[in-house]
Chains A and B, each alone.
Chain A
C-alpha cells in the first residue's frame, strides 16, 4: 500500500480568501463533487487547491499535464522486469485507492483522448476501470478530482470537450482587486504595504494591455517574485524590470511602455 502521508500538505500554505470560495469548496468536497478551477496564469489556482487540501486534512496528488501525456501516464502501466512484467499505478489510480484529492493542473494541455479516462470517476459511478489489468477500482470515499484550466490559452485546438466540462462544478478565479492583491503580496513576502501597492499598480498597467500585444498580464506570482527581489535589497526599478517586464514580453514597444510605468511609479 502506498504511503498516504507523503502526499499530506504539512504546513499551512498562505492563502488569502477573495470571496467565499473556501466555504463553497468545502461544500463541494462534502458531497464529493468534482471541481474545476479556471483563471489566468499565476492568479492562485494551485495555491487554493493546496490550501484546501491542507484545510480538509486530505492528501493531495498533483499532476502537471502536458501534450505527450497518455492515458497510461494517468492510470498506470505495466513495466518490463527481468522475469516478466509488473503493474505500476499511475497518479490517478493511486489517488482513487488512497482517497486523496487528485489535482490535474492545466488539463487542456493533455490530449483529448487522455482526458476521457477521468469520466467514470467524475459521475455517480466513481469508478476507474483498468482495462489492461482487468480491474475495476471503486474510488475511496475521500477521493476527489480537481482540474484547473486557463481559459486565456484557449485556441481551437485546446479546449475541453463539453462532455468533460459538464462533469465539474467550477470556480472562476481572476487576479484579486488592487487592495487585496497588495495585501497578498505584502503578506507573502513581508514587504511593506506601500511598495506592494506600487507593484500591484504596475501589474494593473500590464493587465490593461492584454490583447494589445500581451497575451497575459503580469500575474500575482510575478508580483510576488518582484517583491521578493526588492526584499533582498535589489533596487525596485531593477527588480520590476527583471521580474515583471522581461519575462512576459519581447515586444520592444510594450517593454518600453512598462519600463516607463515602472519609472513613473517608483519615482
Chain B
C-alpha cells in the first residue's frame, strides 16, 4: 500500500493484501470498487471476488483485464447473482488457454451491461455457451498449423454484445452468430466486419432476427387504420432504431411523411401494433388540432411545458373521438411516483410535467399536489367548452410553470425516470421561429447530396439465397446484373433453321395438333353436341301452342384461346464450350440450334415467350443476358443476339431463376412455364459446398411453384440424375444424345404444353 494514504481501514488493508497486486492503476480505483462490491456482495462473495481478481491479475495480460473485472463484477453479480462467478472464470480460463487471450478484456468490459440485459444466471450461461461456440469455431488453423490464429470476430462480438442483446433474444443472438460463423469462418476481414456490425448482411440478419413488430409487416394495417379511423393518410417512413444508440430518435412527421421506428416491441399487454396505432393517433391529433406557435420568446422550459399540455389536449380530443384510446394511452404513459424526485438536488421539471400529463389523462391519478389538481381542473374546464386551442392551452401551461417554478429546475442533474412518453412525437411541427437561433436544431436544413458514382447499365437487383444447413435465407445475397446480349449475325440462325428444314416440317405438323383450349358454348344450333333444355322446352310450348317451333334446340362447344407464357432460361456457363460426346459440335452450338428451332416453333404457335441466358462469377456478379423479351418477335434483332451466344463462368442457377421469374410472374397468362436448359449442376467459384447451390436452386423452384410458375429442366449432363431430381422434382428430362437436342427440345415443349 502506498505510503501517501493517510488512513487505511484495517479491513481494506486486508483486502488489498488478499488481492496481491502491484498495479498502480488498480490501487487508484481500489477504494471505490471495494465500496461498491461491499454494498452488493456477501462475505463469501467478496473473498471469491478478490480471489478471481487476483487470478486475472496474474494472467500476464497487463492491468486491463483485472481493472475491467473489478469494475464490472459487482454490478454483474447484482444482476445475475454471485454464483455465476465460476462459469465466468471458466470461460476466462478457456480464452486464456486458446490464442484468444486478447478477447478477455472486451469480454469483461461488456459483461455487466450484458448481465443487466439477461437478468438471470441461466441466460448468462447460454450467452457464455454461444461465446465458447464462436471461439471454438472461428479460431483458425491454416494448413496444419495448430490453433494458432485467434478468432478475428470474437473481440468485435464482445464489443457489440450489449447492443445486440438489446434487440435480440438469446436464440436470435445464437442465429445471428451462427450466420456469421458459417459464412465468414474462413475470411478474417469479413468476419470482423460482420461481428462489428459493419457489413450490410450483419445488419440485415440482425433485422430479421429482431423481436417485436416490424413496421413493414403492419404497414397496410396502419394505413387502413389512418384512413378508416382518422380519414387521414400519409407516407409511413420507418427510421432505424437499431444503430442509433445515442440519439434514440422519436416519431415525427414532416412534408415527406410520418416517421415511425422500424420496430416496436410489445410493452406489457400492449402489442407492437397498438403502439404504432397510439403513435399514429397522436400525430393525427397534432395534424388536426395543433397550431404552430411562435417560439422565440419562450424559454426551453416553457416550450417543454407547452408541449406536454398540448399533447394532453389533443389526446383528450382523440379520446373523445374513440373512448378506447384512453386505455391504450394510459397503458403506454409512464406513471411517475409522486415525490420520487428530490427538488433539493435534482431538476424536477420533467417529473412534474410528466405527473401532470398523467393526471390530465387519467381520472384516477391519485396525486395529492394542490397546484397539480388545480391545474387539472382548469384544464378540464377549458376543454369542456369544446376543442380549446393551442394558444389557450399554452397560456395555461405557462402559468403552471410560473407557479411551480423552483430554483433547482436549472440543475444539470435531471430526473428522467418515468418521464418519457414514447408514443408522442417530437413536436417539431408545433414551433415556428422568427429568427434562426443557435439552440434550435435546424430540422429542415438542406442536406448536402454527395455526388454518387455514375450508374452504368441497369443497377443490380439483389436476391436472397437459401442456406440449407440453417434453413434460412441469406438476405440480398446475390447481385444480378441484367444486360442486353451482344449481337452477332442474324443470317447464321436462318442458316441453322434451313439446315433443320425437314425437322421443322415435322414440328409444324405437331404444332397444328397442339391446341389445348378453353371451351365456349354456342347456343341455338340446329345440330350440336348437346340438347339445350331451356330452348327445347320453349320450342315444345310453341309447338303445343300451335306456333312454329324454333328448330335450333341444340348447343355445341368450341374451344378458344391458348394462354401460356414461356420463359426459356439458358445456362451459358463455361462447360458449354466442351465438345458433345459423339459429335464434332460443341454443346453451345447444339443448344443454339435447339433454341432457334424452339423459338421458331413457339413463334408459330403464338405463345408469348422470352429467352434469357445467365452465368455468374461469384455472388457479386450474376449476369442475366436478355436475348428475347415478351414484346419482341423472333426477328433479326433476336436472331442476331442468339447468334452471338457465348459461354463462360459458372452456374448460379437460383438467382437467375428468381430474376427470370419476376418477369414471368408479371405476365397475365393462365399458365406460366419456365424452361431451364442446363448442362451441369449449379455451382460457383465462391461456393465450396457442392450442395449449397443445388439446394438454393431447389428452393427457387419451390418459390416459383408458389407463384404459379411451372419450372421444367432440360439437362444435358449425363450425370444429372444425381442432383437434378433434388432440384426439380420430377419435372426434368435428361437428354443423353446431345446431338438430338435440336429435335428433342421443341418436341419436349410441345409435349409439355399439350
Contact = CB atoms under 8 A, between A and B. Distances in A.
Contact of A267 (B223, B228, B273, B322): B322
Interface stretch (A109-117, A204-212, A222-230): A204-212
Interface in B224-246: 224-225, 227-229, 231
Given A85-B545, A264-B229, A209 B324 contact: no
A264 B322 contact: yes
Contacts of A256: 221, 273
A263 interface: yes
Contacts of A257: 221, 224-225, 228-229
A266 B541 contact: no
Nearest to A212: B227
Given A80-B544, A253-B221, A257-B221, A209 B322 contact: no
B324 A206 contact: no
Contacts of B322: 261, 264-265, 267
Interface in A224-267: 253-254, 256-258, 260-261, 263-267
Nearest to B322: A264
B32 to A, nearest CB: 52
Interface string B292-331: 0000000000000000000000000000001111111000
Contact of A265 (B225, B324, B541): B324
Contacts of A263: 324
* Majority secondary structure, B binding face: helix
A78 interface: yes
Q: How large is the interface on B (under 10, 10 to 19, 20 to 34, 35 or more residues)?
A: 20 to 34
A208 B225 contact: no
Interface in B190-233: 220-221, 223-225, 227-229, 231
A260 B225 contact: yes
Q: How large is the interface on A (under 10, 10 to 19, 20 to 34, 35 or more residues)?
A: 20 to 34
Given A85-B544, A265-B324, A267-B323, A253 B227 contact: no
A80 B228 contact: no
B541 A85 contact: yes
A264 B323 CA distance: 6
B228 A258 contact: yes
Nearest to A207: B228
B628 interface: no
A205 B328 CA distance: 19
Contacts of B221: 253, 256-257
Nearest to B547: A132
A205 B324 contact: no
B326 A267 contact: yes
B545 A264 contact: no
Nearest to B541: A78
Contacts of A206: 228
Contacts of B277: 260
Contacts of B224: 209, 212-213, 253-254, 257
A219 to B, nearest CB: 16
B63 interface: no
B545 A265 contact: no
Interface in B505-551: 540-541, 544-545, 547
Contacts of B326: 267
Given A213-B224, A253-B221, A208 B231 contact: yes
Contacts of B544: 80, 84-85
Given A260-B225, A260-B229, A263-B324, 6 more contacts: A78-B541, A80-B541, A209-B224, A212-B223, A257-B225, A257-B228
Interface of A: 77-80, 84-85, 132, 205-206, 208-209, 212-213, 253-254, 256-258, 260-261, 263-267
16 contacts: A78-B541, A132-B545, A205-B228, A208-B227, A208-B228, A212-B223, A254-B224, A256-B221, A257-B224, A257-B225, A260-B229, A261-B229, A264-B229, A264-B323, A266-B323, A267-B324
Interface of B: 220-221, 223-225, 227-229, 231, 273-274, 277, 322-328, 540-541, 544-545, 547
